[in-house]
Structure 1
Amino acid sequence: MSTGESWGPAETVGPTGAAVRRRTLRRAALTLGVGAAGAGYLWHTDPHQPGQLLIPCPFKWITGLLCPLCGGTRMAYDLMHGEVVTAFHDNAVLLTLGGPVVAYAVVRWLVAGLRGREYRPRLSGRGNAVVLGIAAAWMLARNLVG
């Protein structure tokens, strides 16, 4: 082995800024299309009425308890129809905390991607504990209080 050689892992070069922009635009367009199709279906399918063709919550199906996300479909339906108070009743924590956090992450991802940079949100151990703690407290509260 000569003095300039290395046996370690080769350096990897990430995608170029243009490639990141193209990938971001493709993913955003796909997500927008799937979201629009889902919203179009949900617009005409009232999840408050029994017998609708919607995916049931597997946690509730198995345990009979409400999970932290239960009511999210009804909440989305109510928001699309301008019923904010009813949406709040369906899932208050998801509406007040989850919506803004997801919106922030999506905007941050789009801005970084359109600038040609990768954005990978990561939660620290403390962040994971906070999210799981809020979810557990919300699940307990809504199942005990009703």
Structure 2
Amino acid sequence: MSPEELWGPAEPAGPSGATVRKRTLRTASIALGLGAPAAVYLWHTDPHQPGQLLLPCPFKWATGLLCPLCGGTRMAYDLMHGDVLTAFHDNAVLLALGGPLAAYAVARWLVAGLGGRTYRPRVTARGNAVVLGIAAVWMVARNLVG
């Protein structure tokens, strides 16, 4: 028996390097095009002041509790204005762990994509458990402390 008879036909090769580069540039351009106006709006809108036109946290709205991401908008505002200490106060775990992790993932994706390679991060079950565990502990701690 041939391998095709056992497992079916071989999968076609992935996209070419030029296709991956074009897709990466297009996706990055769209993200930049959407993110830049949002950043400009946030720059001029202080989320520390009440009455601003910003999306509220649906978890906090429904439960009255802070979720692990609550304070992220205020943190981004403070970082854009160079106030790292206040940003740390807004959401310490997101600043210390989430920001560097997101920057690493985006940088890996860009470097691979511009090099013509596809990058797909793989998160193991243990990795998911660690992230969810950190988020749960952070949520409980920040709601108990206040």
How far off is 1:9 after superposition? 4.4
Mapped to 1, the partners of 2:38 and 2:21 lie a distance apart of 25
Cα shift readout 1:47-87 (whole Å, capped 9, x = no counterpart): 01111110000000000000000000000000011111000
The structure whose residues are more often helix, as a share, is: 2
Work out the percentage of aligned pairs sharing the same amino acid.
78
The match for 1:48 is: 48
Mapped to 2, the partners of 1:145 and 1:67 lie a distance apart of 14
How far off is 1:13 after superposition? 2.1
How far off is 1:6 after superposition? 4.0
The match for 1:95 is: 95
The match for 2:79 is: 79
The match for 1:127 is: 127
How far off is 1:4 after superposition? 9.7
Mapped to 2, the partners of 1:109 and 1:133 lie a distance apart of 26
For the residue of structure 2 that corresponds to 1:129, the secondary structure is: helix
How far off is 1:133 after superposition? 0.4
The match for 2:142 is: 142
- Shift of the 56–10 alpha-carbon distance from structure 1 to 2, 3 Å rule, reads same
The aligned runs of 1:22-41 (5 Å cut-off) are 22-41=22-41
Calculate the aligned-residue CA RMSD, in Å: 1.7
- Shift of the 6–143 alpha-carbon distance from structure 1 to 2, 3 Å rule, reads same
The match for 2:15 is: 15
The match for 2:109 is: 109
The match for 1:65 is: 65
Cα shift readout 1:17-41 (whole Å, capped 9, x = no counterpart): 0000000011111111111111000
Amino acid aligned to 1:12: P
What runs of 5+ residues in structure 1 fail to find an aligned partner? none
What runs of 5+ residues in structure 2 fail to find an aligned partner? none
- Shift of the 116–5 alpha-carbon distance from structure 1 to 2, 3 Å rule, reads closer
TM-score, normalization by structure 2: 0.94
Mapped to 1, the partners of 2:61 and 2:52 lie a distance apart of 16
For these two proteins, the number of residue pairs brought into alignment is 145
For the residue of structure 2 that corresponds to 1:48, the secondary structure is: coil
